[in-house]
Structures are given as C-alpha cells and as structure tokens.
Structure 1
Amino acid sequence: MTATFKVLSALLSYPDDALMSAAPAFRRALDEESLLPPETRPLLDALVEEIAASDLYDLQERYVELFDRTRSLSLHLFEHVHGESRDRGQAMIDLKSLYEQNGLHLSSSELPDYLPAFLEFLSVRPLPEALQTLSQTTHILTALAERLHKRGAPYEAVFRALEAIAEPAEDAASVEIVPEGYDADPNDFAALDAQWEEEAVSFGPDAAPGCKDRLVAQIRAGRRPVADVPTKGEAP
C-alpha cells in the first residue's frame, strides 16, 4: 500500500471530525514514505496544519464552495475532458470495472472518476503501475492546480504534489481539457442548477464504444493545449 496516495485522497475529501483528528498523522506518513519531492512539502504541510486547526464549519463551507459549487474545480476527472456524454458513460463503466477487478468496490452513490476514489485505488496498486496510471491525468491535475492557485486556495498543494510524482504520459498533449469558462455564483442555486444541467450520461449496453483501454483511453480526446496551463516557453 502507498500511504502517500491515501493521505492525498483524504485531504481532498469532505472535511469532518475524523479527518481533522487524523491530520496530524498525515505528515508522519508522508515523512516515512518520502515519495514526494521536498519542495512540495511546505504547501502540503500548511494545508494539513490548517485542516487540523481550523473551525470545522469554515473548512466545510470552503470545501463546498470550491469543489461542489464551482464546476471548473470539480473533483470528477471526466468532468474536465471533452467528449460525448455516451462516451463518458462508457468510460465510467470501464473505470468502475477496473476498480472491481482489483478489489475496490464503490457504493452505488459513488462515481468512479471522483479523484479521492481514484487515489484510493492507486494506493493499493503496485507503485510503478500507480504512477503510470496517475500520469494519464497530468493535464487535468495541472489545470486544476492553476485554477486553485488563481483563487489562492490551499488545496493547490495536493495537485502540485500529484504533478510532481506523475511523469507526463507520451500522449499527454492529446488530452483536451474543458476550458475554465464562466462559473456561476456559488450562492446562486438557480444559476448553479442551470450550469450543471446537461444531457444524461448513458450507462447501458447501447452506450457508445471506445474509451475502453483503461484510463489513458478514457480521458483521451482532441489535440489542443490545456486551458490555464502555459505552453513551454510561454510566460505564466
């Protein structure tokens, strides 16, 4: 088991009393495994300390506003990848099947592309395999890190840590990320409902084929640079 992935998964989970109580042990786990580069630790340690010491309701309010009410910061990986709804539905089925083949069974209310669940899955896979699988999400992680950075959100630290250990896949440039665009006011529930309303995803046997060869195939689409991420040689 790779404890680093479990810690990062926990840090991206909805804050509760159990998370706050466990937070002091996170730094010890990261120290013992030493998987993350030292330069990633100051921001990450600051997030851990903040979770351990802050008011729970403040933590929960911030989490909901960032990840539940801001579509461009969604923790669902496939939300950030262009593609037809039918393809995303098949991708969900394939990813869930991959989890189950390796002993991870989600509840009926959990979607397989939820990043904390994905990291939990990586934590129980052999480390070389886990790092290779993580590499398929590099463009998504970088885009989310940039978006959180613009908002001054400390959760950026988790995505920077994941970036640091995930070597970009050879075909990373072919992954097309949904541009950030406009986010509805997190407190305008009517606007939020309208923004999130979209064509239903098909999960049945008639769902379109393709997107079947593990995560790399499931998130591959288009051939343009990632939104919010400077290209090589471009000033940030």
Structure 2
Amino acid sequence: MKTFKALSLLLSYPEQDLQATIPAIRATLKDEGLLGPHRMGHLEPLMASLAVDDLYDLQERYVLLFDRSRSLSLNLFEHIHGESRDRGGAMVDLLETYRAGGFDLDGPELPDHLPVLLEFLSTRPLEEAQGTLADAGHILVALAERLTRRQSVYAGVLEALVALAEARADTEEATALLAEPEDDPMDLAALDKVWEEAQVSFAPDPNAGCPVSRDILARMDLPVRTAATAAE
C-alpha cells in the first residue's frame, strides 16, 4: 500500500524534494482511503506545514524532536535494546527480513529506522504490513503519546500508525515505555551524558540497490529515499 510510503516520507528529514511532493502525498493518502477522514484531518497540519514553512525551520524542528530527543528516536530498537548487544542481533534479523522480501536499503539509515520500515511495508500485502506494525505497537503508542504531549504536528502520523497497527495503550509493554522519563532536547549537558555511550555501528551495504522501492516510487511519483534525501 502506497499509504505506508507516504507516511514514511512524512517522517523523513525535510528537504526541498519533500516539500514539493506534499500534494502527491496528500492525494495518495486520500485516494487509498486507508486512514479515513478523521486520521487525514490529524495529518493535515503537518502536511500544510511541510508544504509552506521555511525549510530551515522545518529541519530545526525535526532535529530537536527526533535527533536530540532519545525518547522520541525513530530508531525503534533504541526503545527496546538501547545500546546493548541485543540490538545488533535484532538489526541483522530485520535486515534479513528486508532482503528476503526483495528490499535492500539505499541510504545511511539503520534498518530499524521507522521511515525505512514503513518503506519496506509499502511493498508488502496489507495484512502482513499491519502485523509487522503490531509487533512494534507499544513503541508506536509511546511515540504518539509523547508527541501529543509536546503538541507536535508529527503526532498525527504516529496516531495513524497506531490505528493501522490496532495497537493498545493499556498493554504492559506500552505502559512501561510511557513510564520512562522523557529527555529535554534543550538540555545539552544531559543529552551529552545520555549519548556518551558508544553508538551501535551497523550500516547497510553501500553497494546494495533498492529496485523494488524505486519501482514503486516511479509509479507513485514520489522521491526515492537516498543518502541525499535522508536525515543527517
């Protein structure tokens, strides 16, 4: 379903290409009708902002939310494994799942980066895609709640994903994540302390292509995720 690709792009680092593609993203979401008018209404503030706001301001907002706030990280395994060795094994398993589905990464993001996962799910049958999202449902719930608390326009994307995954906020896993303290992106000293741990080194094969994804994007008239359009 192209809806997953459209949501992937909305969660991507803002670039000029993304701004120019907002009308196509809006049309795709409306035409497929997977989200319905209520969810579409919650997405509109973000799409309107991405389409017309100053690009520098959009990028600064994105970095403050997702790059300088660990509790809002779009790297899903960050919320489960942190920097433990288990994260590396989970990365390998996920990468193998991608390759088994004919999907190879074309960019610098880690396999567990939510926009990457959504791009992969756009190549899978709807039932399978929803099942995969359900596996990460507790993380999606936590992200949606935290973004809502911050009154972020990005909350609508995570709320849509929670709905697609049919995820619940009252599970033990979601409750545990929501109980964790949130970090302040403006507290640089605290952030330095949190991030002083060694980062997991796990990059995709730089020689790998992404023919399935490129074919879908060509039909959808949306930009291909590459190193030039990825979050820095």
Task: Show the counterpart of 1:7.
Answer: 6
Moved over 6 A (4+): none
Cα distance change, pair 150–124 in 1 and its aligned pair in 2 (3 A)? same
- Report the Cα distance in structure 1 between the residues aligned to 2:106 and 2:154, rounded to whole angstroms: 26
Deviation of 1:168 after TM superposition, in Å, equals 3.5
The structure that is helix-richer by fraction is 2
Cα distance change, pair 150–119 in 1 and its aligned pair in 2 (3 A)? same
CA contact (8 A) 1:80 1:178 kept: no
Deviation of 1:146 after TM superposition, in Å, equals 0.7
Q: Structure 1 vs Structure 2: percent identity of aligned residues?
A: 54
- Report the Cα distance in structure 2 between the residues aligned to 1:91 and 1:75, rounded to whole angstroms: 15
Deviation of 1:71 after TM superposition, in Å, equals 0.6
CA contact (8 A) 2:81 2:87 kept: no
- Report the Cα distance in structure 2 between the residues aligned to 1:108 and 1:47, rounded to whole angstroms: 24
Q: Does 1:177 align with 2:182?
A: no
- Report the Cα distance in structure 1 between the residues aligned to 2:178 and 2:99, rounded to whole angstroms: 28
- Report the Cα distance in structure 2 between the residues aligned to 1:182 and 1:165, rounded to whole angstroms: 25
Deviation of 1:25 after TM superposition, in Å, equals 1.4
Number of residue pairs the alignment of both structures matches: 199
- Report the Cα distance in structure 2 between the residues aligned to 1:184 and 1:109, rounded to whole angstroms: 26
Q: Does 1:89 align with 2:80?
A: no
The letter for the 1-side match of 2:20 is S
Q: What RMSD, in angstroms, separates the aligned Cα atoms of the two structures?
A: 2.2
Q: How does the TM-score come out when normalised to structure 1? A: 0.77
- Report the Cα distance in structure 1 between the residues aligned to 2:48 and 2:183, rounded to whole angstroms: 29
Relative contact order: is structure 1 or structure 2 higher (C-alpha 8 Å, sep ≥ 6)?
2
Deviation of 1:167 after TM superposition, in Å, equals 2.3
Deviation of 1:111 after TM superposition, in Å, equals 0.7
- Report the Cα distance in structure 1 between the residues aligned to 2:107 and 2:53, rounded to whole angstroms: 32
Q: Does 1:146 align with 2:145?
A: yes
Deviation of 1:157 after TM superposition, in Å, equals 0.4
Deviation of 1:81 after TM superposition, in Å, equals 1.3
Task: Show the counterpart of 1:225.
Answer: none
Structure 2, unmatched stretches of 5+, are 203-232
**Radius of gyration: which is bigger?**
1
CA contact (8 A) 1:4 1:35 kept: yes
Deviation of 1:196 after TM superposition, in Å, equals 1.5
Q: How does the TM-score come out when normalised to structure 2? A: 0.78
- Report the Cα distance in structure 1 between the residues aligned to 2:157 and 2:92, rounded to whole angstroms: 27
The letter for the 2-side match of 1:18 is D
Task: Show the counterpart of 2:192.
Answer: 193
CA contact (8 A) 1:37 1:164 kept: no
- Report the Cα distance in structure 2 between the residues aligned to 1:129 and 1:139, rounded to whole angstroms: 18
Structure 1, unmatched stretches of 5+, are 204-236
CA contact (8 A) 2:7 2:118 kept: yes
Cα distance change, pair 128–181 in 1 and its aligned pair in 2 (3 A)? same
